[in-house]
């Protein structure tokens, strides 16, 4: 009789240990539903901000920045968009660190890199108009940002 009880306890411990390991490996069960929903809400907000910045930092908007008074206003507006892109990159990076799924980590990490690349490309084109390859660099950065936003939207 004692062997049956001991055997049952051992089997129970083995099952418990295997479930605990699978939860720890997946990471998806470690977050509460509230934490997951909060992450998704922050992710959606970051996505919306990223979409707005992507719309602002275009090759045409930067290329038409003239040295007159109107150009100064446009330049200030573009510099603000570049600052917001850098800040959004930091936010996406923080989301990546807090993500409870590999898809969330990947999408937010991808967005962090893409937003930083967008900010740097736009700043380079704004600071040195006519720089060889600057337009193509910005176009490429916009493409990778668009792809990262698509991935972010899918996980939020």
Contact yes or no for 118/87 (Cβ under 8 A): no
Encode pLDDT of 66-95 as tens digits.
777 777 888 999 999 999 999 999 999 999
Tell me, what's the pLDDT at 14? 63
Contact yes or no for 98/129 (Cβ under 8 A): no
Q: What angle do CA 96, 98, 104 make, to 5 degrees?
A: 50
- The H or E element spanning position 17 is helix 2-26
Work out the pLDDT band at 9, boundaries 50, 70, 90.
Answer: low
Contact yes or no for 126/14 (Cβ under 8 A): no
102-127 vs 69-98: helix crossing angle, rounded to 10: 160
- The H or E element spanning position 145 is helix 134-155
Work out the pLDDT band at 22, boundaries 50, 70, 90.
Answer: very low
Burial of 108 (0-12, 13-18, 19+ CB in 10 A): buried
Q: What's the rounded mean pLDDT across residues 85-108?
A: 95
Rounded Cα gap, residues 29 and 21, in angstroms: 11
Rounded Cα gap, residues 57 and 124, in angstroms: 12
Encode pLDDT of 109-154 as tens digits.
999 999 999 999 999 999 887 788 899 999 999 999 999 999 999 9
Q: Which of 53, 77, 54, 74 is nearest to 65 (CA)?
A: 74
pTM score of the predicted model: 0.77
Q: How many CB atoms lie within 10 A of CB 62?
A: 24
Encode pLDDT of 31-78 as tens digits.
788 788 899 999 999 999 999 999 999 999 998 887 777 778 889 999
């Amino acid at each position: 009789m004692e062997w049956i009880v001991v055997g049952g306890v051992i089997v129970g411990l083995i099952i418990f240990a295997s479930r605990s390991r699978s939860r720890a490996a997946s990471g998806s069960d470690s977050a509460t539903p509230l934490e997951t929903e909060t992450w998704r809400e922050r992710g959606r907000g970051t996505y919306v901000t990223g979409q707005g910045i992507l719309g602002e930092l275009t090759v045409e908007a930067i290329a038409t920045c003239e040295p007159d008074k109107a150009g100064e206003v446009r330049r200030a507006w573009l510099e603000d968009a570049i600052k917001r892109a850098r800040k959004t990159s930091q936010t996406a990076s923080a989301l990546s660190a807090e993500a409870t799924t590999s898809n969330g980590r990947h999408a937010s990490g991808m967005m962090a890199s893409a937003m930083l690349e967008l900010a740097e490309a736009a700043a380079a084109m704004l600071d040195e108009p006519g720089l060889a390859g600057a337009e193509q660099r910005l176009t490429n950065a916009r493409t990778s940002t668009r792809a990262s936003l698509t991935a972010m939207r899918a996980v939020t």
